[in-house]
């Protein structure tokens, strides 16, 4: 794909190639990051259950918070990888950058967890 800032690369926009890049990044993160993998599995199970019981609003809420959590996790992993690539030794400033990134991810995970907890409570109420 052509880099619009540097003027390098192939000409033209290829949506299929862009989709393949997205899917490769998602596949890598799910296969190599346990914290992403188990959250995706739990979310998919909960979404399937909500779909089965025709809880459309709940399904959309789970989809939104899962997306928020995934974006947050991916940004956090990217920031940590860039920091580790640029500075290999211990550095206080890099530690602060990683802590801020982890805090943002922690907030997204907390929101995801609360929504999932509520959804599991609602599902259990259906069975009891």
Render pLDDT for 64-102 as a digit per residue (tens, 0 to 9): 999 999 999 999 999 999 999 999 999 999 999 999 999
CA 120 vs CA 62, 83, 114, 116, 128: distances in Å:
11, 37, 10, 6, 12
pLDDT for position 51: 87
pLDDT for position 1: 58
Model confidence at 57, in pLDDT bands (50, 70, 90)?
A: confident
* Angle subtended at Cα 57 by Cα 52 and Cα 63, rounded to the nearest 5 degrees: 80
pLDDT for position 55: 82
Mean pLDDT of 100-112: 96
pLDDT of 103 above 90: yes
All structural domains of the chain with their residue ranges: 1-32, 34-127
Q: Contact at 8 Å (CB) between 30 and 41? A: no
What is the average pLDDT score of the chain? 88
pLDDT for position 126: 82
pLDDT of 111 above 80: yes
Which of 4-8, 55-59, 97-101 bottoms out in mean pLDDT, i.e. has the lowest? 4-8
Q: Can you read off the two tokens belonging to residue 86? A: 């640029």
Model confidence at 3, in pLDDT bands (50, 70, 90)?
A: low
Fold of the domain spanning 34-127: Helix Hairpins (1.10.287)
């Amino acid at each position: 794909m052509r880099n619009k800032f540097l003027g390098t690369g192939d000409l033209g926009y290829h949506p299929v190639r862009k989709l393949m890049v997205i899917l490769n990044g998602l596949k890598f993160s799910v296969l190599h990051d346990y914290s992403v993998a188990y959250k995706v599995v739990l979310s998919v199970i909960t979404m399937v259950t909500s779909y089965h019981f025709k809880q459309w609003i709940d399904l959309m809420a789970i989809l939104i918070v899962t997306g928020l959590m995934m974006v947050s996790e991916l940004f956090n992993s990217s920031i940590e990888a860039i920091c580790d690539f640029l500075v290999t030794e211990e550095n206080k400033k890099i530690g602060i950058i990683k802590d801020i990134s982890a805090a943002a991810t922690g907030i997204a995970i907390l929101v995801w967890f609360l929504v999932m907890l509520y959804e599991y409570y609602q599902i259990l109420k259906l069975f009891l």
